[in-house]
Structure 1
Amino acid sequence: MSSARPHVSDQERRTRLVRRHLLAPDTRADRVEEVAASLIGLHATDPASVYLSARARMREPSVGAVERALYDDRSLHRMMAMRRTMFVVPDHLAQAVHESTGRAIAAKERRGAQKFLLDGLGWTAERYEAAEEAVIAALRELGEATAAELGAAVPEIAERVHTDAGKRYASSQAASGRLLRTLAAERRIRRGRPRGSWTSSQFRWSAAPEGEDTPRLDEAAAKAELVLRYLARFGPATLDDIKWWTGWTLTATRRALADAGAREADLDGATGYLAPNDDERGPGADGPEAPTTALLPSLDPTAMGWRGRDFYLEPDHVPALFDRNGNIGPTVWWDGRIVGAWSQRRDGEVVWRLLSDIGAEGRSAVGAEAARLTAWLGDTRVTPAFRTPLEHELRTG
C-alpha cells in the first residue's frame, strides 16, 4: 500500500456519495443494471426496496424495467451475499460476489439445513440429497413452481419440523424452506416472479439452466476484486467499514485490501482506504451545482454502505431511524446527509418528517419528491419488512 495519505474530508465523502450513488439529477441512470452496478448490488431482503432504490436513481423509472432485468433478461441476479444478506447483483459481478462471499455462506447454509432436517425429521444424508435432486428434477419439468407446488410434486419437502413443543413460542416449518434456501445460495435454483405484485416475497422457483456453470474464480482474487469495486463506489472507507459490509474476518479483510493494492487516506484522523487509481480530487470530488434530495427505501445500499455513518448521519437520530437489529427504515436525504424519514400511509400518501433543519429550499425539495413518489406508487402500498420507530409513527399518525 502506498505510504501517501491524502486527506478526504467528511464533505468530500458526502459529495462522492451523492455522485457515485447516482443521487444527483445529472447522474441518473437509464437502465436498472447501471443502478445495481453503481452500488455493487441492491439490498433485496425486502423485495420492494429493489424497485424503490432503482426508482430513486433512474431518469425514467418503472416497475417493468426492473422486472424485465430480473425475470426476462436475467441481467440481474438475486443472491445471498455480503453479511448473509439478499442482494440483487448485475450479471458481470455475480460470479465475483458469489466466490468472495456467497460460496462460504452457501456452505454454512447447507450444514445448517442438513442438521435441521436430519435432527428434526430423522432424515439420512442420502434422503436429504435425494430430496434436493427430486426438487431440481421437478423444477425442470414444471418450469417454475412455488414452494407449495413443489411440496405437491415432492411430498417429502412438505414435511414439517416442529420446534419448542409445549412452549408458547412453539412453531413448525416445512422442510422446503431450508432446502430451497440452500439450493438458491448454491445457485442451483433461482427465484422467479413473485406471486402477486412486485412487493411480494412469495417467489416462484426455477432450476438454474443446465450447462451454465462457469469456472470458479480464485477466492482471494474474488475478494480483492470485490474490495476494489467497493472502494470505487463507497471509498474512502475504514477497515471496520469493509469488514462489516463484506461480513469477512479481520484477517481476510486485511489480505483483500493488500491484494487489491488499496492505499491509505486520512479521514480526519482515522485511517481510510481508497482504490489504487482513485484520485482524491477526481470523479466525485466536485459536488453537484445545488444540494439534492432523495427518498430512499428501507435497507437502501447507500444507507447501509458503511458501519461508521457519522459523516452522513447524526448519531442522535439513530434510535428513530433503525430497528433494534440495526436495520434502517425509509430515509430522507439532503445534500449527502440523512435528515429524516418517510412512510406511506394507507391512503397512499407519502409523508415525511425532518430531524434536521435544511431550510426552506430543502423542505420544498423534499415535499416535491414526496409528491412524485406518491404519484409513482399509485395504488401500490409498501410496508417495510423491518419497522422502525419514526416510520411506524408516520404511518399511523
Structure 2
Amino acid sequence: MTPKRPKITDEHRRGRLTVHHRLTPATRAATPEHVADALLALHATDATTVHLSLAARLTTPSVAEAERALYTDRTLVRMLCMRRTMFVVPRALAPVIDASTARTVAARERQSLLKVLAAQLGHDARWLSATERDVLAALEEHGEASAAQLADAVPQLRERIVVAPGKPYEARPRLTSRVLSVLAAEGRIRRGRPLGTWLSSQFRWTIAEPHPELPADQARAELATAYLTAFGPATTEDLRWWTGWTLTDTRKALARTHAVDADLTCGAGHALPAHLDAPTAPEPAAALLPALDPTPMGWRHRDWYLDPAHRPELFDPYGNVGPTLWWNGRIVGGWAQRPDGEIVTHLLTDAGIGHDARQAIATETARLTAFFGDARTRPSFRTPLEQRLTAQDDA
C-alpha cells in the first residue's frame, strides 16, 4: 500500500516562513552572515536591496556591518547566477552556486559577447582573451579599479557597440561593461566597494578569490537542499523557476535530496523531513521588505502568502516585486519612501489587521525611517502602488 502523503497547510508554510526568514523581533539576526545563511541568497540587482533586506532582519541594522561582510571580511559574495540575476550569497555557498547555475550563465554571456564582437567589430575569441588578460593585469597592478579606470588602462575597452539598433532607445556603449560582466560571471573578478555610498550602483573591481570546483550534478543537489531548507515546503516548479534550471535538472536534483513528497494547497510539493511538523505559531509580527526582497521572490506559486488580486499593484510587468508590507507571514500591502524621506505604507486588505497589527506596522516604519536617515532611494523597477505612494500629494 502506498504511504499517504502528508498534507501541509498554507498556515503551516506561513508560520515557517515567518520564523526561518527572520521576520519577527525574536528571530532577528545579529549579523548579515546569519541573515544570508537563512535566506540562501539576497537579491542584488538594486544595490540598496541587499542593505534593506538585511536591515529588516537584523536586531541592530547597520550599513557599516553590511559593508564589513561585503567588502572587508568578504563573507558575502556578489554573483551573477540564478535566472541571470545578481545575488549576494554566503561565501561558503559560492562554489555550489557557481557549479550549479553560474557556469551556465557565464557560458551564455561569453557566447553572446563573442557574437556581438564578431558582427559589429570583427573581433574573435583570441582578441577577447587578450583583452581579458590586459584587464586582469591592470587589476593585479592596481588592486582595485573602477570601470572608467580600467577603460583608461585597457584601450580596447573603449571601443563601442550598438545596442538596440534602429530603436528609439538605441545606444552606443563602450565594451567595458560587457567584458567586465563576463569576467565577473566566470568568477575571475568581483565587485568591490561602491564608488559612492551604499545607495550607489557603480562598483570598483578587483581580482576574485578562487574557490573549489564542484561537479554540476552534485552542486545542483546541494543547492536544491539549500533551497528547501530556506524556502521549503515548495513545488518542483518553485525550484525550477528560482534556479532557472531545466525541468529535467530540477527533478534530478530533487531526487538527490532527502525531501519527501507532500501535498500543498497549490499541488504536489516537496518538504524536508524536519519541516513536516507544523511549527509553533510565531508571535504576530510586521515587516517592511524592499523591492526584490528574497522572501516574496522565493516562489513561483505565491497564492499562499499573496492574494492574487493584489499582484498587479505590487509587481511590475516583468515579474519584479516592489516594496511589500507583511503581517503574520502574508503580504498585506506596500510601502514607499517619498522624496522628503517619509516612509508611507498602504494596506491592500483589512482582513486580520487590527490595532496590534497597525501598531506593529508603525513600529517597523519608524525603525526603517531611522535606518534610512538622510538617505533617499527608489527601486529601479517601479510598481503601480509604489509609484502612487511616492507622490508627495498622495492622501
Report the TM-score when normalising by structure 1. 0.95
Change (3 A) 1:161 1:268: closer
Q: Residue type of the partner of 1:373?
A: L
SS at match of 1:220: helix
2:161 is paired with a residue whose SS is strand
CA deviation string 1:175-225 (max 9, x = no partner): 11111001000000000011111011111101124xx342x2111111111
1:226, distance to aligned residue in structure 2 (A): 0.6
Return closer, same or farther for 1:24/1:206 CA change in 2, 3 Å cut-off: same
- Residue 118 of structure 1, CA deviation: 2.3
Tell me if the contact between 1:4 and 1:263 (Cα under 8 Å) persists in the aligned partners: no
SS in 2 for 1:341: strand
Find the counterpart in structure 2 of residue 78 from structure 1: 78
In structure 1, what is the Cα distance between the partners aligned to 2:385 and 2:40?
28
Distance 1:311 1:180, change over 3 A: same
Q: Does 1:256 align with 2:250?
A: no
Equivalent pairs, count: 389
366, 375, 383: which one pairs with 1:380? 375
In structure 2, what is the Cα distance between the partners aligned to 1:132 and 1:269? Answer: 47
Give the distance between the partners of 1:38 and 1:213, measured in 2 at CA.
22
- 1:362 corresponds to which of 357, 361, 366: 357
Question: Which stretch of structure 1 is more off in the superposition, 187-196 or 121-130?
Answer: 121-130
| Structure 1 residue 364 displacement after superposition | 1.7
Asked whether the 8 Å contact 1:3–1:264 carries over to 2, the reply is no
CA contact (8 A) 1:117 1:175 kept: no
Match of 1:328 in 2: 321
Please tell me whether the aligned partners of residues 292 and 334 of structure 1 are also in contact (alpha carbons under 8 angstroms): yes
Aligned mate of 1:225, from 222, 227, 238: 222
Q: Distance in 1 between matches of 2:137 and 2:176?
A: 15
Any idea what the Cα deviations from partners look like across 1:258-304, whole Å, max 9, x if unmatched?
111321011137111012x324116xx1121x310000000000000
- Aligned pairs for 1:1-397 (under 5 A) are 3-165=3-165, 167-209=167-209, 212-214=210-212, 216-268=213-265, 270-275=267-272, 277-281=273-277, 285-288=279-282, 290-357=283-350, 358-396=353-391, 397=394
1:353 Cα deviation from its structure 2 partner: 0.3
Q: RMSD in angstroms over aligned alpha carbons? A: 1.4
Whether the 8 Å CA contact 1:199–1:382 is kept in 2: the answer is yes
Q: Distance in 2 between matches of 1:146 and 1:3?
A: 59
Return the offset for 1:231.
Answer: 0.7
**Larger CA deviation: 167-176 vs 251-260:** 167-176
Three-state SS of the structure 2 residue aligned to 1:327 is coil
CA distance 1:270–1:201, shift in 2 (3 Å): same
1:124 to partner: Cα distance: 2.3
Structure 1 position 86, deviation (Å): 0.6
Identity %: 52
Off by >6 Å, runs of 4+ in structure 1: none
Instruction: Show structure 2 runs of 5+ residues with no match.
Output: none
Structure 1 residue 368 displacement after superposition: 1.8
User: What secondary structure sits across from 1:120 in the alignment?
Assistant: helix
Gaps of 5+ in 1: none
Kept after mapping to 2: 8 A contact 1:81/1:98 = yes
| Equivalent pair of 1:69/1:75 in contact (CA under 8 Å) | yes
Would you say the 8 A contact 1:14–1:335 is kept in 2? Answer: yes
Q: TM-score, normalised by structure 2?
A: 0.96
* Cα distance in 1 for residues equivalent to 2:30 and 2:165: 53
Please say if residues 233 and 275 of structure 2, whose CA atoms lie closer than 8 Å, have aligned partners that are also in contact: no
Question: Residue deviations 1:48-86, cap 9 Å, x none?
Answer: 000000011111110000001110101000001111111
